[in-house]
Structure 1
Amino acid sequence: MKWVHKILVIASIAFFLNGCVKKEILDDINLIEAIGFDYAGDGNTSGTILYPIYQPDQPPENKTLTAKALIKKSILQDIQLQAANPIVTGSMEAVLFAKELATKEGVLELIDAFQRDPGVGSGLYLAVVDGEARELMDGNYGVRGNATFISNLLENNIENEDLPKTNLQKFLFSYYQEGQTPFMPQLKKISDEKIELNGVCFFKHGKVVETISSDQMFFFRLLVDKYSNGLHRVKIKDGEAAVRSIRSTHNFDLSKRSPLEITVKIKVQGIVNEYTGNEVKPEQIKQLENAFGEEIKKQSQELVDIFKEQKIDPVGFGHFVKTRKRKYDLSKWLESDLKNLTVKVVPDVTITEAGVIE
């Protein structure tokens, strides 16, 4: 009869635990899908939550609530004073920071609240807004709701375009990692129905110190992430080609220890999807490979120079040096050693085939 006793004990425990779970009905809560923060002056921060109102046979209605507070962690409490239902964070997809706030006040205190919230997943997207976060969230961007649109926009650009992988977990990893600094994508509202990814923002001590344009994102991704699918246009004397299905890898080599020198080998493979010239002959393929390689070398080197000037290291050169030099001290990396680092970019471009000719 021992097995009967075990079943009764297990059933009792399950019943007890089930009674301890707080039940929440969707119609009786405000399920936050996104939150944005803006600079409100005099040390104040304005927070705006975005939550859906579900209606039968219709797209969700985007609703927002806004509150201003001096103590950043009390913003949700102040917003709750305006809400008829409890505010729940378990379905958040994106957190947005106005660029003015991210530059003047920083984002670490705000992010800290989310990393401590057990209801928030580590895959949460973070982004800087070129403008006001509240204004961006007030648009109407699709039938699945604004938060889902923003999340899908970032996910699509990570999977198919030039945005390196980024989320809450990766931002925090880069921030706490010795010899590396974090970054976030930058979004801009174009109209009430359109948002674009228009760059990447780089942080130092939790504040934005530099931003690159969308045109530079391709080369930044070559330095920090892999390509499994991509597109880039390359110009030569005889025409212009769209190189698609780009696959890339990068490898670092500590080529000199004193003074420090890192060789970055970037290997790129792709196909010519379109070409504006008359015919893609082996001669044109070679020209495209050379032109593409020179562009990678030039643009990547310019990015490295920007990072050295701003004393930031989103690529993680410092962390790499630490793994190659025993007892290396990173305490002065950003302030002095990074400036004296020599970085050589060595591209290896292979175009495997040619497609449509215009």
Structure 2
Amino acid sequence: MRYLIIPSIIVFVLLGACVQKEILDDVSLETGSGYDYVNGKIRGTTLIPVYLPDKSVRNKTFTAFSQQSREFLLNIQRQSSDPIVTGSLKVVLFGEKLSKKEGILALMDSFQRDPSIGAGLYLAVTEGESKKFLAGDYGNRGNAVYITNLIRHNMKNKDVPKTDMQRFLFDFNQIGKTPYLPRLKKIGKEQMEISGISFFRYGKIVDSIPAKKMFYFKLLVDKYSQGTLNISIDKEQAVVESIRSKYKMQLASRNPYTVDVKLKVNAVLNEYSGKKVTPKDIKKIEKKLQKNIEFECRDLVTEFKEKNIDPVGFGHFIKSKTRNFSFENWKTDYQYLKVNVHADVTIMESGVIE
């Protein structure tokens, strides 16, 4: 037994000597990056946090021009006094012009091939150049942390459907499903917001929806959703928050293809402008919200069909239910797809009355 142990120790020591050691104090951690299309070239921006003695963070950026993300890092290394490592990369932003003109697939390929980058990397499209978003000042924790928390919070608690690098690439490689990313918009020197969702075909943006439609889109693609809606009932105003939702699709017919989408929404009435909320008012609000959801979801499906995109994944769903399904025929069949949306809304409790 001891004769086996000694060679094993030798191999372990030799392999250990081949691993490059990196001390945190001696390297620069890349926490965010952005890519833009500028004057016919792709510009990459790397965000490096500099930790100050008072525990605050100063945001430092490096910029270089190239065609591949690995080349960006090599070019930026020449500008840094310490080695730059990608193991702490949290978020990657793509400028809208780049996303529409050149596409993001070549850049995405290099990210997924880098073993130091996690599959849960957050991605987003920026309205304007991504460099301006990384170079801002969004508090003491660093810009990458701010942007990451902004995206994560809105995916977990609000209207943004879940997506990251792993989900984006899965949807891209899955025939019958269109990938999507959240859009960011600057609303001040120290503030930004999620302004909508962008949809991609072959790595390029082909359509986007505004923030007001995100609630309905999330109902169609996420089993859990927390979102807020303002609705008018007679002369009164109500604020309703979804606390739980789930969806179920059923293939009702194959000639023509017909899909029934059933949405179950449990909600809370947070605010109501009337003096008193009666059971009759609750029923009115439920009915109005149900009609809004059904109309807006059908409208979204119509828009997706017109743009020939399928972010809901009807094609993938029907394929899983149909033997000898042909995606070649689906290109035509999708335009004739019938989608019936049925919403069941229940107000679980009422909150503040103005």
User: How many pairs align?
Assistant: 354
**Aligned equivalent of 2:250:** 253
1:352 aligns with 2:348: yes
Asked whether the equivalents of residues 32 and 49 of structure 1 are also in contact (C-alpha less than 8 Å), the reply is yes
Alignment of 1:1-358 (within 5 A): 2=1, 11-42=9-40, 44-70=41-67, 73-333=70-330, 335-358=331-354
Structure-1 separation of matches of 2:234 and 2:3:
84
Q: Which amino acid aligns with 1:267?
A: K
For residues 108 and 164 of structure 1, the distance between their equivalents in structure 2, rounded to whole angstroms, comes to: 21
What's the secondary structure of 1:118's corresponding residue? Answer: coil
Query: Displacement of 1:332 after TM fit?
Result: 4.1
Note the C-alpha offset of 1:19.
2.7
For residue 147 of structure 2, what is the amino acid of its counterpart?
I
Deviation digits for residues 237-286 of structure 1, max 9, x if unmatched? 14222222521000001111101111111110112122111111111011
Residue 98 of structure 2 aligns to a residue whose secondary structure is: helix
Are the equivalent residues in 2 in contact too, given 1:40–1:68 (CA < 8 A)?
no
Asked if the contact 2:242–2:265 (Cα under 8 Å) also holds between the matched residues in 1, the reply is: no
Deviation at 1:118, TM superposition (A): 0.3
The amino acid across from 1:58 in the alignment is K
Query: Helix, strand or coil: the match of 2:223?
Result: coil
Aligned with 2:328: secondary structure? coil
TM-score (norm. length: structure 2): 0.96
Cα deviation, residue 232, structure 1: 2.2
Q: Distance in 1 between matches of 2:51 and 2:12?
A: 33
When the two chains are superposed, the root-mean-square deviation of aligned CA atoms in Å is 1.6
Distance 1:257 1:175 in 2: 25
Identify the range of structure 1 (140-149 vs 52-61) with the bigger mean alpha-carbon deviation: 52-61
Q: Distance in 1 between matches of 2:3 and 2:274?
A: 82
- Structure 1 Cα separation of the partners of residues 205 and 328 of structure 2: 21
Q: Is the 1:33–1:93 Cα contact (8 Å) retained in structure 2?
A: yes
Q: Is the 8 A contact 1:220 1:300 kept in 2?
A: yes
Q: In structure 2, how many angstroms separate the alpha carbons of the residues matched to 1:57 and 1:12?
A: 46
In structure 2, the gaps of 5 or more residues are none
TM-score when normalising by structure 1:
0.94
SS, match of residue 189 in structure 1: strand
Deviates more, 1:175-184 or 1:22-31: 22-31
Identify the range of structure 1 (287-296 vs 336-345) with the bigger mean alpha-carbon deviation: 336-345
Give the distance between the partners of 1:315 and 1:173, measured in 2 at CA: 14
| Offset from partner CA, 1:21-74 (integer Å, 9 cap, x none) | 2111223222110110001133x1010000111222231210001111245652
Q: Which runs of 4+ in 1 moved over 6 A?
A: none
SS of 1:331's equivalent in the other structure is helix
